Structures are given as C-alpha cells and as structure tokens.
Chain A
Amino acid sequence: MTHMPRLSRRSFVVGAAAAAGGGLALGLDIPLGRPKAALAQAATPEVNAWVLIRPDDTVVIRVVRSEMGQGTITGLCQLVAEELDCDWSKVTYEYPTPGESVKRNQVWGSFSTGGSRGIRTSHDYVRKGGAAARMMLVQAAANQWSVPAAECRAESGVITHTPSGRKLRYGEVAEAASRLQPPTDVQLKDPRTWKIAGKPLKRLDTANKVTGKQVYGADLKLPGMLNATIVECPVFGGKVKSFDAGKITGMKGVRHVLQVGDTAVAVVADTWWQAKTALDALPIVWDEGPNANVSSASIAKMLEEGLSAEQGFVGNQAGDAKAALASAVKKVEAVYAYPYQNHATMEPMNCTARYTPERCEVWAPTQDGQGTFAAVLAASGLPADKCEVYKINLGGGYGRRSGLHQDWARQAVLIAKQVPGVPIKLLWSREEDMRQGRYHPVMQCKLTGGFDASNNLVALHMRLSGQSILASVNPQAVEKDQGRDALTFQGVTSPNLLGGEYALQYTIPNLLIDHAMRNTHVPPGVWRGVNINQNAIFMECFMDELAQAAGQDELEFRRKLMANHPKALAVLNAVAERIGWGKPPPQGVHRGLAHLKAFAAYVAAAAEVSVEGNRIKIHRIVAATDPIYAVNPAQIERQVAGSFVYGLSAVFYGECTVEKGRIVEGNFDTYDSMRIAQMPPVETIIMPSGGNDPWGGIGEPTICVAAPAVLNAYAKATGQRIRTIPLKNQRIRMA
C-alpha cells in the first residue's frame, strides 16, 4: 500500500492540532478513539465554558462559530479577551464539539455560522463569559491573599492587589478560579474603553495558511481511511435506475461501488483519483423523473407569469400603491431578472465518516456543527450519545455548508454505513459541486413607480416573482407565516418584519412590495447575502431609473426619500462625499451609488467606471458600513473588499443554466470568477454608530451594494440600463 505513507500518530496529531487551530488535539483523539475534549481540560483548568488558562498563562478561548475566512474566530476571541483582561499575545482558541455541547446542555449556544450572525448574535454572552472568568480569577487571587476582591484589579493577565502591590498571574490562579462559583452579576465594559476589541488586530489563524499545514476537510487523513466520490442523479428529484458495477470493480484500487440512498452512486477506492476515474467510467442509468424537460427558458416563463399574477405575499406595504399608480401623472416601469448561482467554494463539498453500530463519528468542514450533528443522527439512526462531529477547517462556505444544507454529511454517513468500521472520506469533484448546488434562488422583478405633477415619487410597486429558499429548506416556517417566505424580502421589508434587520430605508407614501412565489425543482439555498443581492439591484437600479425619469440627481432624489432613515443616509452621504459626487469625475469616468440595510448593518457603495466597447473597467469603489459596533476594523475592510469580489463575480459571470432538468455549467471555465486583474481599489469607511441598536453583520451586508453601484455607473456611461443578470449574457465583461 503506497497510498498513505508517512501516516503516523504523531503526524496526525500535528494535523489535528492545526485543524483545531493549534489549541489542542481537540476532539481528535487519534486514532479513532472516543474524542477527548477533556484532553485539554485535564492539563488546562477550565475557568468557565469559554475560557481555559494554562499554567504558562496561555489563554484558550472556546469558539463554536465556524471560521471560513470571515474572521469570526479572531473577532470572538477579541471580545472574550477584552472582558477577560488577558494578554492578547497569549490567546489561542479551540472548537468544542457538538457532542460536548449536548452533554453540557448547549452551554455555548448556537454553533450556526450564517446570516452574518457569528459576532452580532453572540457578543453579549461571549463577553459575559470573558468578564465572569476575569471576576473568578480576581476572586481566586483575593482568596489567596485573604483580601477583598474589590482591592484587586486585573490587567493583561496579571492581578494586582492595589494596596500592597502584590501580583499574581492568571496561570497561577486559574486552577483555584475554576473551583469557584461563577458570579451572577456580570457587568460589561463600555465599548469606548475597549483595548483589544475594536482594534485592527491580526487574525489568529494565518500562519498555517501560508505554509500548507492548515488541514481542511479535503486534506484529512485517518488510519485505514478509504476515499470516495459520488454522483447524484443530475436531474434534481431523479433516482438511480441501475448501474453496472462489474464494469469498474476490477479497476485498480476500487473497493466498493455503492448506491447511496435512492438518488446517488458512489465509488470507494484506495485513493480519490482512483475513485473518480472509476466513477467516470461507471455506466449508470437514471430514472430522471418528472423534471427532465425543465429548462431555464421554461422557468423564466413561469416567473414571467408571476410578475402580473393577482396574488402575492406582502413584505412591505404603505398607503394604496395600486390606486396611487392608477392616478399617477407619470409612470415608470421596468422588469429585472436574477439567475441561479452556485456558491463554488474553492474546496468542493466533502465529509469524512466512520460508522459502526455502536458509534458514528464525522469530520466535517461545516458552518454549523449542530446542524451537521443533527444530520449525522438522522443518517446513522444512532442516538446522540453514540454520535460525534469534529469540525474541520472550511475552504469557503458562503452558505453552502450551512446547517440547512447537510446533503454531503448525509451522503458520507450513508456510504460509511455500508463499509462499517472504515473511515471514508467523501470528496466531490468540482463538476459534482457545480451540478448539485443549493443555488442562489432565481428571481424576476417588475417595478412600477408613479409621480405626481411636481415630479415627486408618490407610489412604488415592487413585484417579486421567483423561488423561495425557506419553502424548500424549512417549509414549517413558511407554513407558520401563512405561506409567505419573509426572507425573500431581505433589504426591502417593512420596518418590523424580520426584526427590522432588512428594512427598506425609503419612505414612500404608497408602497407595495409583494412576492409571487414560484418554486421549481432546482434546490435553492442560502448564499452570501442571498436575497439582498437581487433586491439591492432591483431597488437601487430602479431608484436611478426613477431619478432620471424625474430629471433629478440620483443622490438628491434618494435623500428626499430618506429623511426618516438617518443611519442609512449617513452611509450613503459618506460614500457620496468620498467619491466626489457632485464634482466632475475624471474624463470618461462615470459614477453610481447604492445602499441597503441588511443583517442589521447599514451599507452603501459608490463606484467609478469607464466603458470601452463591451468592457467595463471599475476604477474604484468606495464602501461605507455602519455595523453599530466594529470589533476588528482591519478584518471588516477585508470582508468588504472580499464581498465585492463575490458580488461582482456573481453579477458579471454568475449563472447556472438549466437544460433538460439539470445544471449545464460544470466548472470555472463556464462559471467564471473575478481575478486580481479586475479587482478595483476598494476604500472602506467604517462608521459604527454605537448605542443600543442591535449589532450589525459584517461578512455579508456589503456584498449587495457593489453590483447596483456599478450597474448605475454603467447606465450613466452608456445610456443603457442592464436589467438582466449576469452581464456575460450581454457579452459585457470586466476589463
């Protein structure tokens, strides 16, 4: 056997430590034994669920949200460390496992890492975790000195008894602190006094990413492991009819040819390349089911019907838009369309599983350890105390690895069940990843605006027609909401829908935003930003169309509608000022603006572009974000610029075409992505407004504003309004 040389316990433990971020061989007590999250705890006193401190003062902070590039580990550690008053240079981190979470009554809260929630929905309890640990450490020192805790202060990992000047390090009192009762009254610092949080600190997880040592799911090695690859019926909803395993069982390295559920076939081999080569050669007959004739054209036709359908679910309403439009002096109407798009994470879907009737263990690059745990329970048929999930680093997520989309985890367990006792690493080919996505939903939109005699916008009807994500992934939620999928309205909702996190930031006296739900057999999924992407294009491009129809400056036109939305106005004004709106742009350069509220953050962008033939050159984009509180400005800048790459790739190149019921595009040659040559300089203005508003997200909100800003600038440059995404279909490319 040459396929797995160099495998030793030691090398694996090194790999596992890297996977867990260097904190410890967390949950990966190798080889294949029961996980011992206790491994670290044995040597490292756990002050509380969030903080472990070693005798050498190393602080291990527990993080349950998944790191997929967005910097959540660093940000969450900053928040804990801030309240802990520890030495930042001694901070490391670890991932608790979902199984531990079950045993400890979900002490760490939600593992789910999506919706830009990592920091914004856990900042309060993780900071309290840090503060409580600090109070216990101080109390332990006070006890040792037999002085009141009030006479002691903590700073940078050292406790000082102020009157006497005596000092103790955290590492010296952590053991004693771990035996104290946790405090009940925990006060948090005023963010204006932050020394660690709020600062542009370097990420904690960079070193292994530049040396090749970082272990992603696809890189995992376990003793005795075999490799698998899979093909699902290319027509969604179809099934396996038959396959001729005999054609490939003699191929080198092939161990098993397996049906997976009703819908897929997998090959298990010594190496992945052998599995892939064999699967490609396997004759499979599919029962393609009732959807084998569906195409992008037939889907578009269904959506077109929805644009003028009588009924729609309402997401935002004021006055009587239909009546006001009927009596408007001037009307403007436009139809926009947004396609299916794949996530195309750089690391294709993968998952590793080992099953015996007594225990099922899964190693998963997942955005939601608890979501994967639930999928493992369901697929294995084993109870929670016989299952465990170990989180491995993700090579990108963007929603595809969320708790809502655990198809890859289910597949891995179903394969492992057929090869009991053997760890199986399932890795999809890029083609499988492209064709078995959980796609950004398809949507069309008809917008109608009405003006009075003084060119005031008095009415707007925005009719969405297209697919609901929730109807597919969480039908109970849709049922509870009388059939409506409120998420469809992200960015344009009424003030209270979805907690106001995605509320429309315009006041229009007669307004109707409604959705004709038109679902298809193509599985939709959450995506970076997801419904804000199309809604920002629809709303913000149409705002420019309205302004131009009224003969007004696009910024001034918006400002009049935003008097009641000061935070949105502030970010819009900030980008307008920085880009030089109102001053002449350089020769041949044209400007466009856009803004939105999403994930509780207020975001805006202003772009400068020039157009030569069918090529758009983006010279510069200015972005502004008000996330209410900013935990790490350096990482926010990176997320903003990165979100523009993802968002602009989507608007220029992103389309998954449906033909004969299946997705046509199979790789990056037909599903292109922006390269460094097209990357414009991005200037980010971070303007946290503070106060008591709910904190806003970082990873997603800005993704939606670059595209409409660029499209608006393009329209100014050419007089042509692009309303159908992606631009490649109109032979327009990025220069």
Chain B
Amino acid sequence: MARLTINGQTHEVDVTPDTPLLWAIRENVGLTGTKYGCGIAQCGACTVHIDGEAVRSCSLPVSAAEGKRITTIEGLASGGTLHKVQQAWIDHDVPQCGYCQAGMIMAVAALLKDKPKPTDADINDTITNICRCGTFQQVRAAIHAAANA
C-alpha cells in the first residue's frame, strides 16, 4: 500500500513499492491523461510534476513518490482556468493525435517555471519529448507565446 498525493488529493493505492508511478496514476488512481509511451524514460509521454519538477513517471517507483506533491495534466489548470501553456496550445492549434501532448505540456510548464523566458537553446536542451506526428514547429511557437502571456 502506498500513499500518494496527486493534484492535492491523497490516494491509498494497493501496489507493490516498485510499481512505476505511471501505472499507479493510470490504473489505481484512474487518471489516464498521463500516457504510457516507452516505459524507459525516453519519450516523455508520462511526464508529471513531482514537487514542481518534471519527472518521467514510467521509470520512477511509487516508493520514491510517496510524501511528495505530484501534479498530473488533470491538475495543471487551476479551477476553471487553463494553465497558460494549455491556453497557448489551444491558441496555436498544437496537438495532432495528441497522445504525447500531456507529457509535452507538463515538461513545458516545468521549464517555464524554471525559466520564464526560455531561449530556443533552453527549449532544445530541456524539451526532449518524442512526438511522432511532428508538432515541434507549433510547440516551439506556443512555448514562446506562453512565456509572453
């Protein structure tokens, strides 16, 4: 049994301690916005925030997330107001299939918290999520728009 604090709510989840956080979030808590893409921290589709930092939840055991503040895509907006990254994504019509976008948005939200006005080089260094549809051109434009929002 693990105790997880996700989007401000506490959940008791019946999993082994080595279960990846991703699967506890998706299957035990039932929040499916966080995606499975690779399981080896390569693609970033599973990105969540842990104490405000972007983390690839597919490769983090639940035991390492206990007692920490976990935020998923479902908890990024505050109340009825979208996070500025989500709004920029809508304004720039970023998603194609959309499967990687929750992870992409979480990675970008963490970047903007760290660097409110990222340069292209900052983006290149930090945003390493895979998108097979190839939305990168819109992603870059939307990051700069969110930074200036």
Contact = CB atoms under 8 A, between A and B. Distances in A.
Interface of A: 2-7, 68-71, 202-203, 205-216, 218-219, 221, 227, 252, 271-273, 344-348, 393-398, 427, 429-430, 634-635, 638, 641-646, 649, 667-669, 673-677, 679, 681-682
Contact of A676 (B132, B133, B136): B136
A700 B112 CA distance: 34
A537 B32 CA distance: 40
B102 interface: yes
Given A211-B74, A398-B132, A3 B33 contact: no
Contact of A206 (B90, B129, B136): B90
Contact of B27 (A68, A273, A345): A273
Q: Taking each of B19, B32, B77, which has the highest tally of chain A beta carbons within 10 Å of its own beta carbon?
A: B32
Contact of A346 (B20, B32, B45): B45
Contacts of A211: 33, 73-74, 76-77, 82, 86
B128 A675 contact: yes
A348 B95 CA distance: 18
Contacts of B96: 69-71, 638, 642
B131 interface: yes
Given A348-B37, A641-B137, A677-B124, 18 more contacts: A3-B14, A7-B30, A208-B98, A212-B32, A212-B73, A214-B98, A221-B32, A271-B23, A345-B99, A346-B130, A346-B131, A634-B93, A669-B40, A673-B132, A675-B129, A675-B136, A676-B136, A679-B136
A2 B14 contact: yes
Interface string B22-59: 01001111111111111110110100000000000000
Given A210-B90, A668-B43, A646 B132 contact: yes
Given A6-B30, A638-B138, A668-B38, A203 B93 contact: yes
B73 A2 contact: no
Interface in B92-149: 93-102, 105, 123-125, 127-140
A396 B132 contact: yes
Q: Taking each of A212, A644, A674, which has the highest tally of chain B beta carbons within 10 Å of its own beta carbon?
A: A212
Interface of A is mostly: loop
26 contacts: A2-B12, A3-B27, A3-B28, A69-B98, A71-B96, A202-B93, A206-B90, A206-B94, A210-B94, A210-B101, A211-B73, A221-B32, A227-B27, A273-B20, A344-B132, A345-B97, A345-B99, A347-B37, A395-B35, A396-B132, A638-B135, A642-B134, A674-B134, A675-B128, A675-B136, A679-B140
Q: Taking each of A210, A221, A635, A641, which has the highest tally of chain B beta carbons within 10 Å of its own beta carbon?
A: A210
A577 B28 CA distance: 57
B82 A210 contact: yes
A396 B97 contact: yes
Nearest to B95: A209
B13 interface: yes
Given A69-B96, A210-B89, A218 B28 contact: no
A482 B137 CA distance: 45
A226 to B, nearest CB: 11
Contacts of A2: 12-14, 28
Contacts of B82: 210-211
A219 B98 CA distance: 13
Given A676-B124, A682-B137, A272 B23 contact: yes
A336 B135 CA distance: 30
B97 A271 contact: no
B108 to A, nearest CB: 10
A5 B95 contact: no
A645 B132 CA distance: 7
Contacts of B137: 638, 641, 679, 681-682
B90 A207 contact: yes
A668 B27 contact: no
A166 B148 CA distance: 48
A644 B40 contact: no
A404 B99 CA distance: 23
Q: Taking each of B37, B74, B100, which has the highest tally of chain A beta carbons within 10 Å of its own beta carbon?
A: B37
Given A2-B13, A69-B133, A273-B19, A396 B29 contact: no
Nearest to B91: A202
B93 A638 contact: yes
Nearest to A67: B97
B72 to A, nearest CB: 7
B134 A646 contact: yes
A213 B134 contact: no
A210 B97 contact: no
A214 B86 CA distance: 14
A206 B30 contact: no
Given A212-B31, A212-B74, A213-B33, A68 B97 contact: yes
B125 A677 contact: yes
Contacts of A641: 134, 136-138
A239 B4 CA distance: 43
B84 to A, nearest CB: 11
Contacts of B12: 2
A644 to B, nearest CB: 7
B134 A645 contact: yes
Contact of B98 (A209, A634, A645): A209
